[in-house]
């Protein structure tokens, strides 16, 4: 709700709970009641925290636009929201505020220089007020193979500022900034959240001022001089996405997931079980080995075979050949045709790894176009950034990729990006990358793209407007994946994120987990396998086959239902997906720690219809979880029928699972006779 009376910058007077239908008189009274009182040692007129907070309006916290004085020119209703036009100091700023059907506010700023002088833009974030009850903050950090680690604290006077200067989101991406009532959890608490749909440098903050107001903000981070607007030029900010819930983080996820599921680019087909070749063979590619891997993959029920890094001319390691998007005649003397024929002949789709934004110095491209090589002076994974903001460079790589897509039936590109940019205009580079993805998808409308960036270094609503899968992390260690999955899914629904069964020990940690745990963990996503199946035992292959069948049976539910996570403290954790009509559900009860009690604690299964009775049964994933000696609960063998109210308020007693083990249960509402 905006107070857009008068000629001043409108103020957000409420975003949160639906206040019901209010009469004009009630709206006036509400707006009047939100005008600030004048405190001691303050300006003589009420300070205003506008939609674009300005120093000239008395706001001394972090501003929405530096150095400008703006006033309201127009408020224009559009189908799902309003456009607010502010003008002043030779600038025209249109703030777009659109509320989608899922309750997510889409906000962005369009700034035009209407004056004769050039204008250098410093920053133009989306800024929203937080109410005083929001006393606690949550956002994310992380490292390679350990992305989206949550971090929380109270909100104090001052600024909690997170910046990405990676030229990409980075492994320590703040991801979603959340503020809420103290102790908010997955199922309880009132929470306000902001996410920026941008894959480049950005700033997000929570700023609590001693004047008694708090803001939450997110916007692109610009370097000095990066955006200079001549007369008539426009800067369009990335979209920021704001959501509120009085049902904790699950309530936020429900809104964000609804938003992603409504995207035109949202994957419309069943998510094919995928095999990715990276950890199976790394750079050791040839038809004999990969043809055999494809046969084994088809045998266990894989539906998409993705040839990862190592297929390009001279790409025998990670030191060379990026930029030369031709098939290596040494390792693939007959091209990729024979492998693709084998893959497709076995009924699988074919996917190919690419890294279009990059160039190795040891490449034909760098020799021919040294002027396109940039990314600072430091090589990173022995590679540099290809200057896609140069149209000739973008067209060159686009045409090379189109030639591949024309030459071969490629259903899917795994689009990697393995370094920070460290210099140059990130704004121009990210915009050009988006354009390149759009150009490829326009030319090949059925083409799917996965967003990967050394694992989960690029996951946001900007890239997801044009991609159908994300790679949340390079780690296939199922223990670490449990946490990465739990928090990545705060924003992104399960059908987007790649979840692979790896071999044991895990390549990234050297830690071994049971096949049962690896299967259960990879089920909750867009499932796949990343394992040299030639080294798997016949029993393991059989297990994979059973698991693949279960995935096919459950993916309709997993990829459309509501994600629920229990707030029960300690171990085990509970993650479930409940069908929209609550007629069925699937839950994983996962133990990540050694038990602190002699039995595993009773766990509640949230989100069910309290009035319905559910038949609960264990899902056979092809490998039984490891348990301690003792007597397991009878329901594990026999199943059990309980109401949603009982399951939600009392819960189930888990079997005596060992650490790093999980049990998956299916719940089906029982028909009443």
- Complex with ligand DGJ: residue 445 or 510, whichever CB lies closer: 510
Count of chain residues binding ligand DGJ (CB under 6 A): 12
Distance CA(310)–CA(496), nearest Å, equals 25
Neighbours of 225 (CB within 10 A): 9
Distance CA(123)–CA(485), nearest Å, equals 32
Report DSSP state, residue 131: -
Please name which of 665, 564, 565, 575 lies closest in space to residue 614, comparing C-alpha atoms: 665
Distance CA(635)–CA(617), nearest Å, equals 7
Position 589 contacts ligand DGJ (CB under 6 A): no
Q: In the bound complex, what is the minimum distance in angstroms from residue 319's beta carbon to ligand DGJ?
A: 11
478-488 vs 515-523: helix crossing angle, rounded to 10:
10
- Complex with ligand DGJ: residue 452 or 621, whichever CB lies closer: 452
Please, are residues 662 and 481 in contact by the beta-carbon 8 Å criterion? no
Task: Give me the residue whose beta carbon is nearest to ligand DGJ.
Answer: 309
Given 173, 324, 328, 416, the catalytic residue: 416
Is 251 strand, coil or helix? helix
End-to-end alpha-carbon separation of the chain, Å?
A: 48
Q: In the bound complex, what is the minimum distance in angstroms from residue 26's beta carbon to ligand DGJ?
A: 54
Q: What are phi and psi of 200, to 5 degrees?
A: -130, -150
The first and second tokens of residue 453, run together, are 């960036």
Report DSSP state, residue 672: P
- Complex with ligand DGJ: residue 474 or 661, whichever CB lies closer: 474
Distance CA(386)–CA(358), nearest Å, equals 5
The contact pattern for ligand DGJ, residues 366-405, with x = CB under 6 A and - = no contact, is ----------------------------------------
Position 418 contacts ligand DGJ (CB under 6 A): yes
Q: In the bound complex, what is the minimum distance in angstroms from residue 509's beta carbon to ligand DGJ?
A: 15
Residue positions counted in the chain: 673
Distance CA(220)–CA(223), nearest Å, equals 10
Q: In the bound complex, what is the minimum distance in angstroms from residue 411's beta carbon to ligand DGJ?
A: 17
Q: In the bound complex, what is the minimum distance in angstroms from residue 478's beta carbon to ligand DGJ?
A: 16
Q: Is residue 474 flagged as an active site residue?
A: yes
Q: In the bound complex, what is the minimum distance in angstroms from residue 479's beta carbon to ligand DGJ?
A: 19
The contact pattern for ligand DGJ, residues 438-457, with x = CB under 6 A and - = no contact, is --------------x-xx--
Distances in Å between the Cα of 349 and the Cα atoms of 294, 333, 335, 442, 546 are 11, 22, 17, 20, 20
Position 139 contacts ligand DGJ (CB under 6 A): no
Give the footprint of ligand DGJ on residues 292-331 (CB under 6 A): 308-309, 318
Position 119 contacts ligand DGJ (CB under 6 A): no
- Complex with ligand DGJ: residue 454 or 467, whichever CB lies closer: 454
Please, are residues 386 and 373 in contact by the beta-carbon 8 Å criterion? yes
Distance CA(208)–CA(212), nearest Å, equals 7
Contacts of 222 (CB under 8 A, 6+ apart): 121, 122, 123, 201, 427
Q: In the bound complex, what is the minimum distance in angstroms from residue 417's beta carbon to ligand DGJ?
A: 9
- Complex with ligand DGJ: residue 283 or 408, whichever CB lies closer: 283
Distance CA(263)–CA(431), nearest Å, equals 19
- Complex with ligand DGJ: residue 318 or 439, whichever CB lies closer: 318
The contact pattern for ligand DGJ, residues 331-360, with x = CB under 6 A and - = no contact, is ----------------------x-------
Distances in Å between the Cα of 125 and the Cα atoms of 28, 73, 128, 209 are 28, 20, 10, 18
- Complex with ligand DGJ: residue 191 or 307, whichever CB lies closer: 307
Position 474 contacts ligand DGJ (CB under 6 A): yes
Q: In the bound complex, what is the minimum distance in angstroms from residue 201's beta carbon to ligand DGJ?
A: 21
Given 207, 387, 474, 480, the catalytic residue: 474
Asked whether the bond before 186 is cis by omega within 30 degrees of 0, the reply is: no
Candidates 140, 350, 372, 471: give the one binding ligand DGJ (CB under 6 A).
471
The first and second tokens of residue 600, run together, are 């595993």
Please name which of 108, 107, 73 lies closest in space to residue 88, comparing C-alpha atoms: 73
- Complex with ligand DGJ: residue 471 or 614, whichever CB lies closer: 471
Distance CA(636)–CA(216), nearest Å, equals 47
Candidates 160, 241, 278, 517: give the one binding ligand DGJ (CB under 6 A).
278
Contacts of 475 (CB under 8 A, 6+ apart): 145, 146, 455, 481, 484, 506, 508, 509
Strand partners, 304: 274, 349
- Complex with ligand DGJ: residue 239 or 311, whichever CB lies closer: 311
Q: Is residue 532 flagged as an active site residue?
A: no
Asked whether the bond before 567 is cis by omega within 30 degrees of 0, the reply is: no
Position 416 contacts ligand DGJ (CB under 6 A): yes
- Complex with ligand DGJ: residue 420 or 474, whichever CB lies closer: 474
Please name which of 435, 406, 389, 664 lies closest in space to residue 547, comparing C-alpha atoms: 664
Q: In the bound complex, what is the minimum distance in angstroms from residue 416's beta carbon to ligand DGJ?
A: 5
Q: In the bound complex, what is the minimum distance in angstroms from residue 468's beta carbon to ligand DGJ?
A: 16
Give the footprint of ligand DGJ on residues 49-108 (CB under 6 A): none
Position 136 contacts ligand DGJ (CB under 6 A): no
Is 638 strand, coil or helix? helix
Which active-site residues does the annotation give? 416, 474
Interface residues toward ligand DGJ, by CB under 6 A: 278, 308-309, 318, 353, 416, 418, 452, 454-455, 471, 474
């Amino acid at each position: 709700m905006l107070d857009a009376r008068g000629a001043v910058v409108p103020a957000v007077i409420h975003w949160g709970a639906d206040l019901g239908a209010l009469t004009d008189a009630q709206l006036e009274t509400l707006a009047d009641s939100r005008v600030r009182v004048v405190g001691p040692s303050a300006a003589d007129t009420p300070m205003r925290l506008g939609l674009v907070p300005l120093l000239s309006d008395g706001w001394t916290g972090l501003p929405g636009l530096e150095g400008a004085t703006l006033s309201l020119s127009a408020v224009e209703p559009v189908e799902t929201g309003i456009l607010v036009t502010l003008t002043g100091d030779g600038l025209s700023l249109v703030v777009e505020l659109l509320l989608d059907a899922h309750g997510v506010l889409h906000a962005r700023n369009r700034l035009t220089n209407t004056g004769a002088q050039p204008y250098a833009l410093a920053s133009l974030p989306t800024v929203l007020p937080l109410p005083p009850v929001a006393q606690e903050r949550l956002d994310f950090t992380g490292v390679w193979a350990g992305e989206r680690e949550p971090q929380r604290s109270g909100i104090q006077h001052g600024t909690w500022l997170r910046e990405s200067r990676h030229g990409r989101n980075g492994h320590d991406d703040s991801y979603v900034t959340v503020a809420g009532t103290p102790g908010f959890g997955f199922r309880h608490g009132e929470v306000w959240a902001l996410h920026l749909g941008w894959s480049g440098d950005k700033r997000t903050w929570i700023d609590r001022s001693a004047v008694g107001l708090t803001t939450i903000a997110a916007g692109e981070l610009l370097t000095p001089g990066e955006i200079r607007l001549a007369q008539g030029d426009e800067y369009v900010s990335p979209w920021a996405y704001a959501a509120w819930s009085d049902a904790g983080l699950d309530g936020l996820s429900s809104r964000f997931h609804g938003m992603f599921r409504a995207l035109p680019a949202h994957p419309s087909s069943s998510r094919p079980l995928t095999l990715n070749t990276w950890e199976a063979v790394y750079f050791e590619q040839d038809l004999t080995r990969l043809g055999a891997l494809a046969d084994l993959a088809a045998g266990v029920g894989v539906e998409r075979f993705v040839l990862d890094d190592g297929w390009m001319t001279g790409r025998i390691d990670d030191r060379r050949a990026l930029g030369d998007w031709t098939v290596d005649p040494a390792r693939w003397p007959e091209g990729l045709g024979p492998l693709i024929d084998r893959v497709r002949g076995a009924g699988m789709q074919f996917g190919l790894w690419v890294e279009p934004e990059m160039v190795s110095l040891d490449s034909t491209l760098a020799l021919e176009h040294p002027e396109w090589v940039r990314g600072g002076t430091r090589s990173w994974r022995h590679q540099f950034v290809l200057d896609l903001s140069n149209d000739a460079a973008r067209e060159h790589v686009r045409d090379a990729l189109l030639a591949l897509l024309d030459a071969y039936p490629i259903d899917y590109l795994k689009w990697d990006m393995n370094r920070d940019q460290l210099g140059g205009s990130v704004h121009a580079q990210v915009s050009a990358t988006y354009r390149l993805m759009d150009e490829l998808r326009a030319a090949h409308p059925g083409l799917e793209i996965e967003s990967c960036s050394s694992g989960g270094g690029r996951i946001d609503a900007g890239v997801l407007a044009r991609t159908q899968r994300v790679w949340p992390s390079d780690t296939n260690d199922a223990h670490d994946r449990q946490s990465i999955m739990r928090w990545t899914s705060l924003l992104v629904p399960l059908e987007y994120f790649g979840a692979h069964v790896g071999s044991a020990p895990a390549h990234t940690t050297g830690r071994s987990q049971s096949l049962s745990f690896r299967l259960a963990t990879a089920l909750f996503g867009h499932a796949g396998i990343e394992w040299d199946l030639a080294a798997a035992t016949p029993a393991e292959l059989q297990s994979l086959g059973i698991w693949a069948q279960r995935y096919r049976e459950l993916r309709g539910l997993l990829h459309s239902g509501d994600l629920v996570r229990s707030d029960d403290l300690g171990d085990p954790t509970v993650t479930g997906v409940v069908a929209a009509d609550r007629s069925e559900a699937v839950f994983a009860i996962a133990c990540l720690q050694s038990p602190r009690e002699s039995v595993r604690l009773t766990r509640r299964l949230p989100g069910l219809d309290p009035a319905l009775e559910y038949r609960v049964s264990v899902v056979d994933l092809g490998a039984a979880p490891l348990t301690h000696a003792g007597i397991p609960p009878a329901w594990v063998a026999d199943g059990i029928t309980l109401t949603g109210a009982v399951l939600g308020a009392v819960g189930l007693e888990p079997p005596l699972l060992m650490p790093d083990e999980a049990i998956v249960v299916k719940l089906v509402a029982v028909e009443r006779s």
